[in-house]
Structure 1
């Protein structure tokens, strides 16, 4: 194959002589499901879409996945495979009057013996009432709904719509799949891209799993008509890296904070710093991260390292004094400290257990011997009677019961044999022995 930067090649003349009338992404749109790159988990012979087509029945579907992975293309090809009329709308630009017209046209089409595959892009942008409007037309077979969303349908779509659809997850394209797409683009353009291997890989990484974005980048590079291939550094100077997909109120937000939290819990400072950086790069509020990092210290380190909370609060205060971007380094230090700290959720587990007991035992009063008696009436009722002042007891420990009368003594806090909680285990054992000795 000739090089695109070689302007003497016939392929270059074909690609650039008069300019392509259609974008490269449109020219390379697959004409059959077998041509779709990626999504093999759906399209392999045992995949749900293949099984559905083989059975001759196409149910309503919601495609959930990032941009540029083939949601629209697959929907169009499904209509082609099942001989359904394909009609596409976008929830961003379609209101109730337009929907009524779409449903009426589908009804007339059905009376004439042909079904309709209605593809709804950004379906999560329809409100509850608009989503409910699809239900009767799905139930009577007027339309087969195929929705596309980049947001988690569990949160964004009505339960009634979800119950009538199969949710299929589309995945971002991996580098081998982007390479295959690059090769198809080169075949269409008539030559190889003027890029060294490292630059070629970098170009594909810039697309961030988005096939459409990759084809746009390929088209830009091809239009430069270079005489020598570029290396990665030169390519980076000419092209801006695509912004990472991140929505501070959407799935990416919750997925990344979950990844950060679990990396800290898993004692992996490198992974924790990576997800921390990903969130900052996506525009996350550092104060939100500071709060969540402090919560990690409470939940996952606890008393195994009591200093962890102080470190987080100090780093948070440092961020407030320095501001961005210098203050983020302090938060990164807190992340690193937490990842390497000994882990214990014993206090967290104990707290939740105590909360359950408090709910179950209702309004049981404390035993009277630990109640104050500021009035004579309360003294006559036995308040404070029999209380042993611990400081007067041997070893500063009376061993009295502090739970409601008649309640079996529970055990909530069970420290782990890590970090400072080893000392807590020793103390618990010491007081347990004294309590048994003194009949408490």
Structure 2
């Protein structure tokens, strides 16, 4: 068995018995069947299982959050396919390193030995480095398995993606994390000194990361006194709290702000408050959130509730004034208000339509009737001639034509029947009727 491990580049426990090893390393699965939480890939009908049965592995990209087994599965694939396992990290490698790896793989291939090249953090490579993989993937010099926590559609170039299959690794659910903890207890022959509630808290603190769960378990064993049973409150004091998976510059950031925006738009204040708190808990810039709330007020609520914009702006000012943590409550209040407000995108739709016409119609002059005439020349040319001052007209409405002659009257704003906007719809209809009367009178 040790020879089999060596052929895959995997050290056995005996080979590493003298070195201290983290629990996560000691519990590393030895077969695909032992991998937890990725049954859609490694189960009897999983995608990887089917590929192995067909003897057509091909190059792959593993996409998923940390601690979900990407490296482990790559090692096991090398063993299952009798390929030499070679691992590099895009953080520490450049083109010279890649050339050495490719040359070694070519030499192995000449002797009948294939190479599975596992590239951790593959999204860290630039375009030129990613392009370097293409010829060795095409001619079979290496079977590439790249691992990334970022969306491959955004981070990897199309040429590489067209030559590799993307497989999604899922964050471990609570059952999978709990299973890992049971394995850890069996391996160490020690029960975790946690009461039932604390055990559940530990599982949730892992945030779907199996490696983190085992690291937290080690911290618990190191911290517990003889015969002590740790409750949930003590557990949080001992290990503080693992930072949630939330990279403000990457996909998690955009996923959560998208979720917040859509739950506000969908009038679900509870879900909106949950995603707001997720972002606050992840350390998101509070003023970024405030700006997005202002955007929601004008895009999704608009004139259905004109106060929404004032509320969103007031929340921003309140946070500026109070700072953290008191100011976050103002953001929460604004979020709930926006979610509960009547919704209309009529202003947003009208703005886009008017922008399109303004760009397409060119530089059309307004009617001379509504142009100012500060000089004698402009007055002689008819600027301002025939303008009717609306406040002096019946109903304070003249019904004049304000549109460029070549463009004609346009309609962009179509108010809904929700909230305050229903009043505007009645008002616009009234004015349109008066406008028709004025035209009939002039005719």
TM-score, structure 1 normalization: 0.89
Per the alignment, in what secondary structure is the counterpart of residue 100 of structure 2?
A: helix
Give matches, 1:114-193, under 5 Å: 114-193=113-192
Distance 2:25 2:90 in 1: 22
Deviates more, 1:426-435 or 1:326-335: 326-335
> How far off is 1:46 after superposition?
4.6
Deviates more, 1:423-432 or 1:180-189: 180-189
> How far off is 1:225 after superposition?
6.5
Higher relative contact order (CA 8 A, sep 6+): 1
- Does the CA contact (< 8 Å) of 1:194 and 1:226 recur in 2? no
Cα deviation, 1:58-102, whole Å, max 9, x if unaligned, reads 222221111100111111122222222111111111122221110
- Does the CA contact (< 8 Å) of 1:301 and 1:341 recur in 2? yes
Q: Does 1:411 align with 2:414?
A: no
- Does the CA contact (< 8 Å) of 1:369 and 1:383 recur in 2? yes
Cα deviation, 1:214-259, whole Å, max 9, x if unaligned, reads 1122233345474253332232332222111121211111111112
Counterpart position of 1:108: 107
> How far off is 1:382 after superposition?
4.4
Counterpart position of 1:320: 320
For residues 19 and 267 of structure 1, do their structure 2 counterparts lie closer, same or farther at Cα, with a shift above 3 Å needed? farther
Distance 1:117 1:227 in 2: 48
Counterpart position of 1:372: 372
> How far off is 1:118 after superposition?
0.8
Deviates more, 1:351-360 or 1:395-404: 395-404
> How far off is 1:209 after superposition?
0.7
Distance 1:39 1:408 in 2: 62
Aligned residue pairs: how many? 423
Q: Does 1:61 align with 2:60?
A: yes
For residues 436 and 93 of structure 1, do their structure 2 counterparts lie closer, same or farther at Cα, with a shift above 3 Å needed? same
> How far off is 1:380 after superposition?
5.0
Per the alignment, in what secondary structure is the counterpart of residue 230 of structure 2?
A: coil
Q: Does 1:212 align with 2:211?
A: yes
Per the alignment, in what secondary structure is the counterpart of residue 438 of structure 1?
A: helix
Q: Does 1:349 align with 2:349?
A: yes
Give matches, 1:68-107, under 5 Å: 68-107=67-106
For residues 145 and 303 of structure 1, do their structure 2 counterparts lie closer, same or farther at Cα, with a shift above 3 Å needed? same
Distance 1:41 1:401 in 2: 65
- Does the CA contact (< 8 Å) of 1:346 and 1:415 recur in 2? yes
Per the alignment, in what secondary structure is the counterpart of residue 439 of structure 2?
A: coil
Distance 1:424 1:295 in 2: 22
TM-score, structure 2 normalization: 0.89
> How far off is 1:338 after superposition?
1.5
For residues 111 and 285 of structure 1, do their structure 2 counterparts lie closer, same or farther at Cα, with a shift above 3 Å needed? same
Counterpart position of 2:267: 267
